Structure 1
Amino acid sequence: MPHIEMEDGVEVFVRDVGEGDPIVFLHGWPLNHRMFEYQFNHLLDDGFRCIGIDLRGYGKSDKPYGDYSYDQFADDVKGVLEALDIERTTLAGFSMGGGTATHYMSRHDEAYVDKLALLAAASPVITEKPDFPEGLTESEVNPLIEGARTDRAKMNADFSELLFHTDQSEEMLHWIWHLGMEAAGQATVASAETWRDADLRPDLDDITVPTRVYHGVHDEITPIEITGEVLAEGIENAELVRFQNSGHGVTADETERLNEELADFAGQ
């Protein structure tokens, strides 16, 4: 079932391949499930079942004009897991997908999920709040949103270059750009406003499953000091795994190590 219909009629694209213990991947902004290509390749060979979801507005999913809140994304994840009827899942969320994952765990009582993997997660808070002055300022984030409104092609090119700490080929950067351009413009803007403004700290108290927080120490988009370390401290059963040679794009900066860490964790 490459597409699964949600309660509001929106069809969400799902790639479901392999057998064995399932790992469900939630992509980051403004990409889609294909960003995990090099995780799928390794984990399928290791005997896992890999399930990639294109969040609404992205990739091959429907792109309605409307709600791109964490509530909506979490409800869509619930709809997919319910339709697939799988148990003991490892839920792996990257960046905005990490925010979706932590919110899902609270909003839907950890349904179907046995383990949680957070990859450079945009959670629980990105921008500063009265009681969280460590966050980024809105003036640091807003140029991405304004760029998505006025010149999304250039914004995606600039964003692609921000992702990585290690050198990546021009072809890799162009591929990342292409994934971003597959998203709907309104979804790109609206969901960026979601992760900019969200405060998911209350959700952390509801997460009880074993959790791994994988985060690059050179991350400039979701700095480890305001996201990864906060997640590890706020989730009772969490462990922070630092990637010393990674920026935000840990999936490509340290692909082999990340794949080994995910296989070890999901296979426990």
Structure 2
Amino acid sequence: MTSIEVEDGVEVFVRDMGMGDPIVFLHGWPLDHRMFEYQYQYLLDEGFRCIGIDLRGFGESDKPYGDYSYDRFADDVRAVLDELDVEGVTLAGFSMGGATATHYMSRHDEAYVDKLALLGAASPVITEKPDFPEGLDEAEVNPLIEGARTDRAKMNADFDEMLFYTDQSEEMMNWIWSLGMKASGQATVASAKTWRDADLRPDMNDITVPTKVYHGVHDEVTPIETTGEILTEGIQNAELVRFENSGHGLVADETEKINEELATFAN
């Protein structure tokens, strides 16, 4: 475990485990790298190197007031990979981390990355645009932002209830909630505005590496029809893998399946 200083002096926390082929994990909103605990266990046993990054504002990383754009997140990821100097990466991003991953691939010319794994990615577009009426109405997203401003603890609990299709234990839900509460309030609000407003469709044209799009068919946060299917159509070497018994949180809904899929893809 270490912290890496990025260009504006912010310390980004990185957990680096194992010695094999590297898989770099980018977490979703408003969680941190620990959300992949049950992926790490399996993949380390399978001989992979697992690198979990806490995006700025979340987990153990610094929490500055300021910029939480996808440009900023992607630049931080590049700084981490530059420091680690790791080749042949499978970049695995969940939800907001998936959008960060697609933007990284475009903004940084796929540096260090040989394969891309998108898990319930919040990409390329979440909310309605003039030429994208299929997106969510902003009125469905804004209560999360307002809740983060006024009662972040309740907002996190309410959002957690949206994540899963299968029943999760009370203890699991409490743990997920605790990850969200580790984030800074300002980062939670600012990054929610980022994923609400972003249009990453141009980035898809720049992604050339083999890509797997893993998506729950019951996802209510990033519906498969407006994210997973569009990513698969827009990225030239992408394949959609449908998770029939998953909502947004496929890492917990179908843990065994996602673990086996990642191991096979990253091999």
Same fold (TM over 0.5): yes
Matched, 1:57 2:57: yes
Matched, 1:178 2:170: no
> In 2, Cα distance between the equivalents of 1:167 and 1:7?
42
> In 1, Cα distance between the equivalents of 2:232 and 2:158?
30
Quote the offset at 1:66 in angstroms: 0.1
SS of residue paired to 2:225: coil
Alignment correspondent of 1:254 = 254
SS of residue paired to 1:124: coil
> In 1, Cα distance between the equivalents of 2:160 and 2:195?
18
Alignment correspondent of 1:41 = 41
> In 2, Cα distance between the equivalents of 1:139 and 1:255?
32
Alignment correspondent of 1:69 = 69
After TM superposition, list the pairs within 5 Å mapping 1:39-118 onto structure 2: 39-118=39-118
Quote the offset at 1:252 in angstroms: 0.1
Residue identity matched to 1:160: D
Quote the offset at 1:207 in angstroms: 0.1
4+ aligned runs moved over 2 Å, structure 1: none
Structure 1: unaligned runs, 5 residues or longer: none
> In 2, Cα distance between the equivalents of 1:243 and 1:13?
31
Quote the offset at 1:23 in angstroms: 0.1
> In 2, Cα distance between the equivalents of 1:166 and 1:200?
30
Matched, 1:241 2:245: no
Question: TM-score scaled by structure 1?
Answer: 0.99
Quote the offset at 1:43 in angstroms: 0.1
Alignment correspondent of 1:119 = 119
Residue identity matched to 1:88: G
> In 2, Cα distance between the equivalents of 1:29 and 1:144?
11
Residue identity matched to 1:246: S
> In 1, Cα distance between the equivalents of 2:32 and 2:16?
14
> In 1, Cα distance between the equivalents of 2:81 and 2:250?
26
Q: 1:213-244 CA deviation, whole Å, 9 max, x = no partner?
A: 00000000000000000000000000000000
Residue identity matched to 1:164: F
Residue identity matched to 1:20: G
> In 2, Cα distance between the equivalents of 1:60 and 1:193?
22
Residue identity matched to 1:180: G
Residue identity matched to 1:157: A
After TM superposition, list the pairs within 5 Å mapping 1:71-220 onto structure 2: 71-220=71-220
> In 2, Cα distance between the equivalents of 1:14 and 1:208?
26
Residue identity matched to 2:17: V
Matched, 1:13 2:10: no
Question: TM-score scaled by structure 2?
Answer: 1.00
> In 1, Cα distance between the equivalents of 2:34 and 2:158?
20
> In 2, Cα distance between the equivalents of 1:139 and 1:29?
18
> In 1, Cα distance between the equivalents of 2:34 and 2:260?
19
> In 1, Cα distance between the equivalents of 2:262 and 2:133?
32
> In 2, Cα distance between the equivalents of 1:251 and 1:149?
28
Structure 2: unaligned runs, 5 residues or longer: none
Alignment correspondent of 2:32 = 32
> In 2, Cα distance between the equivalents of 1:253 and 1:144?
23
> In 1, Cα distance between the equivalents of 2:134 and 2:162?
20
Quote the offset at 1:85 in angstroms: 0.1
SS of residue paired to 1:205: helix
